[in-house]
Amino acid sequence: MNIDKIKEIGFVDEPIDKFLDLKVEILRLKKEKNAVILAHFYVVPELQDIADFVGDSLKLSQEAAKTKADVIVFIGVHFMAETAKILSPHKKVLLPDLNAGCSLAESAPADKFAEFISHYPNHVVINYVNTTAAIKALSDVVVTSTNAKQIVESFPENQPIIFGPDKNLGNYINSVTGRKMVLWDGACHVHEEFSVEEILRIKQDYPDAKVLAHPECEKPVLIVADHVGSTSALLKYSAKDDAKTYIVATESGIIHQMKKLSPDKEFIPAPPKDSTCACNDCNFMKLNSLEKLYNCLKYEMPEVTLDESLRIKAEKPIRKMLEISEKLGL
């Protein structure tokens, strides 16, 4: 398959022998090529299980920064693989399907964001990691949902801040820190889909169920949540807490790890507002499959690349996040 075709459709579409044991072959190719497989909690269980590291955005960027592998295969979405490339420019970074984007990252086009921040000259610019390299390059520091609160609080209270691109996370951080950060009007189409009415309806059948919510959710969902946190924070909470049932208001892929840590507990995915769709699942994360991962490793394509001058500018705020996180023991 030629490179132009791969760029056009976003992945390697070569036929695969149906008698191949894909899991065995992926592990063989991984060893042969000295590759590491990083997977986000939102991908399908069989991909989480084949990865060397499965985690939240922070853990995966920490792994990408320190790996000794020659090839990084990122089973996640484009901004995650791009962050890995920014941190490890001499490594080959592969993404099984280049169509795996992110609605939140797309909600902040670089030209419009640059115009926006130009109206706030004395502000520090803090951006969520769910952004393109061009937005990271316009940032003073990057955060993930695991460290956003602490990083915002690391700035003096009187320091004006712009926070982007997620208004829900920004509002949540404002509410727990008392800051009045100026927010960019962006959001994730998956996390905005959870229905507080449906969550409350489930609670009538399971009165003891606890609600776990990611801070990318809208305020009414966060208000009814027993615990708000990043994917790893929700996972830890579900393992330590003593309830028997949880309603999970984040992408349902995380439930695979929750069940692994707590096989006797019940996890109910929070339903979407539109009961006719599966829009509480991230369609971008779900583009990753065992077949695409196999072809991606075999042909070492598609590769995530970026302009070196942009990479250098985008690296600084990510390194700053990693340094602060290390100091905080995150």
Candidate list 137, 188, 211, 297; residue touching ligand SF4; CB under 6 A: 188
Q: Could you tell me the smallest distance in angstroms from the CB atom of residue 102 to ligand SF4? A: 3
Q: Measured between alpha carbons, how far is residue 302 from residues 11, 95, 160, 231 in Å? A: 6, 6, 41, 27
- Is residue 230 within the footprint of ligand 13P (CB under 6 A)? yes
- Is residue 231 within the footprint of ligand 13P (CB under 6 A)? yes
- Is residue 98 within the footprint of ligand SF4 (CB under 6 A)? no
Residue span binding ligand SF4 (CB under 6 A) among the ranges 16-24, 258-266, 279-287, 293-301: 279-287
CB-CB contact of 117 with 293 (8 Å): no
- Is residue 148 within the footprint of ligand SF4 (CB under 6 A)? no
Candidate list 29, 284, 289, 325; residue touching ligand SF4; CB under 6 A: 284
Binds 288: which of ligand SF4, ligand 13P, none (CB < 5-8 Å by kind): none
Binds 103: which of ligand 13P, ligand SF4, none (CB < 5-8 Å by kind): ligand SF4
Long-range CB contacts for residues 101-104, cutoff 8 Å, separation at least 24: 101/77, 101/284, 102/77, 102/78, 102/130, 102/188, 102/284, 103/187, 103/188, 103/189, 103/190, 103/284, 104/128, 104/130, 104/131, 104/165, 104/166, 104/186, 104/187, 104/188, 104/216
Residue numbers 118-177 binding ligand 13P by CB under 6 A: 130, 144-146
Crossing angle for the helix pair 231-240 and 254-261, nearest 10 degrees?
20
Residues that bind ligand 13P (CB under 6 A): 41, 56-57, 130, 144-146, 216, 230-231
